[in-house]
Amino acid sequence: AIILVHWLLTVWGCMNYMLPLSYAWGNFSVLAVGIWAIVQRDSLDAITMFLTGLLLTVLTDIIHISVFYPSHDFLSDAKRFSIGMAIFSLLLKPVSCYLVYRMYRERGGE
């Protein structure tokens, strides 16, 4: 569910080409590592990389949104929706990090 929600919000956040390609590459790469973590349930490395990637994308998302946020004059409804979904994804990431950390602990991480 974590991967599906963040995938959908990232797709919606990239709809208007307002955010650069690095936003899409960073988020989709972390989601690919998350799929790896789901497939290999016994791998501690996969879940560690997924958690680290989520934490790093929190920082990069803040930078992307703050640098590329358009001025009020250039905000259409589609751009407002797109940036809103990117912000919503950013706000959900700490909750996702907590849930992934719990999975990390269940797999034997310390």
pTM (two decimals): 0.80
Could you tell me the residue range of the domain that residue 74 belongs to? 1-107
Count of domains for the chain: 1
Show pLDDT as tens, one digit a residue, over the chain (110 residues).
888 898 988 888 888 877 888 888 999 999 999 999 889 888 888 888 999 999 999 999 999 888 888 777 777 888 888 888 889 999 999 999 999 898 888 887 77
Could you identify the residue written with the tokens 């974590």?
2
